[in-house]
Structure 1
Amino acid sequence: MARGGQGLARVAVVVRAGAAPLWWFGVFAAGIGVLLPGLTGRRIGVMAGAALFILAAVVVAYTRRKRYAALVRSAARASKQDVLQDRAVTVRNWRRGHRRWLLLAFVAALGSSFAVPAAGGMLLAGAGVGLWLKAGWLGRRERAEEALIWVRVDWLGRRAGAPAGKPVKACRATGVAAGDAAPGGARRR
């Protein structure tokens, strides 16, 4: 690494990295769960799952918004020596660091289908949608500020933790043309 430079990962990409696995594991678990009659019955399970889906999406989308907004407002410009991490590397690191938790959540969602069919899977899918909504909100903030927000890789930790967690002291900002991801963490077209 260059003298004085640090590795930086996009905040929106880290947030968005868990959305797809949570969504697909949730959809798959809910699909299997609907096949099981469960203790409460399919109708109650699906209705409870729909409520949990909406609740999870809202809670995940709005959690830590003040912290993210404060970090975005106080972001300093990245230096020329800083190394910007590719989107694919950031996503891969997050998913590798969380694969055990993702698998455990999937197994728990499947197991809950024996009691309340489809509810656990829909809860998991709702968390994935909440992460997409949060990444979209971050993307709108980045467009409004006309700056992409980055966090130091070493502050994310070995397991690529939350980009607004306690170890994160500040963020860095670059122009909107930097990196290979669009505002919000999606692939650049």
Structure 2
Amino acid sequence: MARGGLGLARVAVVVRAGAAPLWWLGVFAAGISVLVPGLTGRRIGLLAGVALFLVAAAVVAGARRKRYRTPAAAAARAGKHDVLQDRRVTVRNWRRGHRWWLLLAFLAALGSGFAVPAAGGLLLAGAGAGLWLKAGWIGRVERDGDALLWVRVDWLSRRGGTPAGKRVKGYRTTGVAAGDAAPGGGRRVAVAARS
């Protein structure tokens, strides 16, 4: 990076990166395992799975919010030589770094279906839904502060690095028009120009 600039990734994009894989792997695991009666039977498995889905979504969405709020409140403005990472690159890097954990989680959810059908898959899907909710909450924090939150890429590079991890000393901010992701980490919707 030229002139001492830092590579920055969007906080909300990093959080949201795991949502889709966890959701779809969980739905897929639940769909396969519901075909097996299991030890408890399908009805009990589905009821337990729905309860686990709701609990996982609530816990993941609400966990560690202070670890996001504190650096957001004290965030410094990004420098003009800092390099803003594209949304697509951030998502790809997160998924590559966590691919084995995702595979193990999927296999565990699938295997648990032989005991309690669909429960493990719905638990996984609930974690994915919780990440979407957390990214949406970060988006509201960004809108309230009228600034997007960024974290240094090198602080995320180690295995398991998260924007709320111990290595993260603070965030940087930019205006809401910076980068290619909207507040909350979703794709930025292009607005048609008025004639």
Fold shared, TM-score > 0.5 on shorter chain: yes
d(CA) in 1 for partners of 2:67, 2:106: 29
Amino acid corresponding to residue 73 of structure 1 in structure 2: A
Q: Distance in 1 between matches of 2:110 and 2:170?
A: 39
Give the whole-Å Cα distance in 2 for the aligned partners of 1:114 and 1:71: 44
How far 1:159 sits from its partner (Å)?
A: 3.7
The separation in 1 between residues aligned to 2:30 and 2:147, in whole angstroms, is: 39
Deviates more, 1:109-118 or 1:159-168: 159-168
TM-score between the two structures when normalised by the length of structure 2:
0.96
Could you tell me how far apart the structure 2 residues matched to 1:142 and 1:166 are? 22
Question: 2:105 & 2:44 partners in 1: Cα distance?
Answer: 21
RMSD of aligned alpha carbons: 0.7
Look up the match of 1:108: 108
Q: Which amino acid aligns with 1:128?
A: G
Q: How many residues align?
A: 189
Structure 2: segments with no counterpart, 5+ residues:
190-195
- Could you list the per-position Cα deviations for residues 96-115 of structure 1 after superposition, in whole angstroms to 9, with x for gaps in the alignment? 00000000000000000000
Distance 1:153 1:160, change over 3 A: farther
| Post-superposition CA distance 1:49-103 (Å, at most 9, x none) | 0000000000000111011011110110000010000000000000000000000
Identical-pair percentage: 78
* Partner SS for 2:178: coil
Runs of 4 or more consecutive aligned structure 1 residues displaced over 3 Å after TM superposition: none
Q: Is the 8 A contact 1:93 1:160 kept in 2?
A: no
Q: Which runs of 5+ in 1 are unaligned?
A: none
Structure 2 residue aligned with 1:56: 56
- Secondary structure (helix, strand or coil) at the match of 1:3 reads helix
Residue equivalent to 2:179? 179
* Aligned positions of 1:21-170 closer than 5 A: 21-159=21-159, 161-170=161-170
Deviation of 1:16 (Å): 0.1
Letter in 2 for 1:61: A
Q: Which residue of 1 aligns with 2:192?
A: none
* CA drift at 1:2: 1.3
